[in-house]
Amino acid sequence: LRPGGRFLCLEFSRPPAPALARLYDAYSFRVIPFIGEQIAGDRASYQYLVESIRRFPDQKTFQSMIEAAGFRRAGYTNFTGGVAALHHGWAV
């Protein structure tokens, strides 16, 4: 990015509330692959999707990574209780 440009990344994330995190995990690992199998006939791809979401860093870790990459005013906004987050930072 050019200096002054803004980095934005909308990504699935991790709900900070333990109860919602447990509910979201149960939904993700049981329901999403099942729906993928029923609609697309491809459970494995949807299972992979759920697993890849879990490998993405949590909100605070990714914010630290954005800062370490040299962006200023890095932060994030949680959506749907943290199921998704919009990460941002300004290029120097």
Token pair recorded at residue 23? 């509910």
| Parts of the chain with a pLDDT under 50 | none
Is 63 inside a domain boundary? yes
Distances (CA, A) of 10 to 13, 14, 74, 84: 9, 13, 14, 7
For the chain, what is the domain count? 1
pLDDT digits (tens, 9 = 90+) for 26-49: 999 999 999 999 999 999 999 999
pTM: 0.86
Q: Identify whether 15 is part of a domain.
A: yes
In a domain, 1, yes or no: no
